Amino acid sequence: MKKLKVFLNGLLYENPTLVIFLGMCPALGTTGTIENAVYMSLCVLFVLFLSNVIISSIRKIVPNEVRIPVYIIIIATLVSIVDMLFHAYLPYDVYQSLGSFISLIVVNCIILGRAESFASKNKVSDSIIDALGYSAGFAMAIIVVAFFRELIGTGALSWAGHSLQIIPSEYAIKLFSTNSGAFITLGLVVAGYTAIMEAVKAKKAAKEKLAENK
């Protein structure tokens, strides 16, 4: 039960992008297409998962005074590994469009935040669940933003060079493909998400009140 709570915390209640607004740089910069968003999510999953596992494993032997430099070295190493693997095995266009955002994962607050506030204080199994929850939450948020940006901005959804035109291109609103469009779409998605979560909370509270009255 505790593990499910840890997972749902990252996925829904403390969603890094939609609730606590961490890692906004890739959330805005790599959401031009769904393909980019998916690969960025995989990057974050790889780094967050392994950094949580490693930091949780060595938490008892890391001297408190040097814990932050140690975390940074570990995270930077993992990011460099992802960068090299993506460079070698990902389509070059995708690697190029992700560009510096891969390297910027080193300073992504989600990764360092989870390392400092969770992995360094909890056992490995809980840290794995935490990493999966936060990665899933991040992935969900940026893929939803990318879906709307790509669909409204180009009228089509594309993957690996294949494109499916859903809205005639003359009706596409190019603004959504630009940086301004990223802010607007993210704002709308956050508003929609908050409204849904508030409605769920209100429904739950009403149910509990009804049960109390009975």
Partner 1 sequence: MNKLLKLPIFLGVVGCLCGGVLSLTNFITKDKIAQDEYERANAAYYKHFAEFKTKKEVALTDELKAGGVTLKEEIFSDEQQTASLGYIYTCSVVGFAGKSSPINFTLSFADGKINNYVNLGHGESAQGAKFLDWLDKGGNNLTNLDAGKAETGSSVTYGAISKAFSLCTADYLANYNK
Q: What is the CA radius of gyration of the chain?
A: 19
Cβ closest to partner 1, residue 69 vs residue 192: 69
Short-list 119, 82, 101, CA closest to 24: 101
- 162, 35 contact by CB (below 8 A): no
Among residues 71 and 138, whose Cβ is nearest to partner 1? 71
Per CB under 8 A, the list member of 84, 166, 199, 205 interacting with partner 1 is 84
| One of 1, 2, 60, 63 touching partner 1 (CB under 8 A) | 63
Contact residue for partner 1 among 88, 160, 210, 211 (CB under 8 A): 88
Listed ranges 63-71, 105-113, 115-123, 183-191: which one lies at the site for partner 1 (CB under 8 A): 63-71
Scanning residues 1 to 60, which ones bind partner 1 (CB under 8 A)?
none
Cα separations in angstroms, 173 against 151, 155, 157, 186? 9, 8, 14, 16
Contact 151, 165 (CB under 8 A): no
Residues 28, 74, 129, 144: which binds partner 1 (CB under 8 A)? Answer: 74
**What is the rounded CA–CA span in Å between residue 142 and residue 11?**
12
| Residue 81 within binding range of partner 1, rule CB under 8 A | yes
Sort 84 into a burial class: Cβ within 10 Å, 0-12 / 13-18 / 19+: exposed
* Least distance between partner 1 and beta carbon 41 (Å): 21
3-state secondary structure at position 166: coil
Please say which residue, 73 or 205, places its beta carbon nearer to partner 1: 73
Single out the residue of 3, 9, 77, 190 in contact with partner 1 (rule: CB under 8 A). 77
Q: Which helix (H) or strand (E) element contains residue 1?
A: none
What is the 8-class DSSP label of residue 163?
E
Q: Which of 4, 5, 57, 69 touches partner 1 (CB under 8 A)?
A: 69
Nearest to 110 by CA among 82, 71, 80, 73: 71
Residue 160 binds partner 1 (CB under 8 A): no
- Residues of the shown chain interacting with partner 1 in the complex, contacts defined by CB under 8 A: 62-63, 65-66, 69-70, 73-74, 76-77, 80-81, 84-85, 87-89, 92
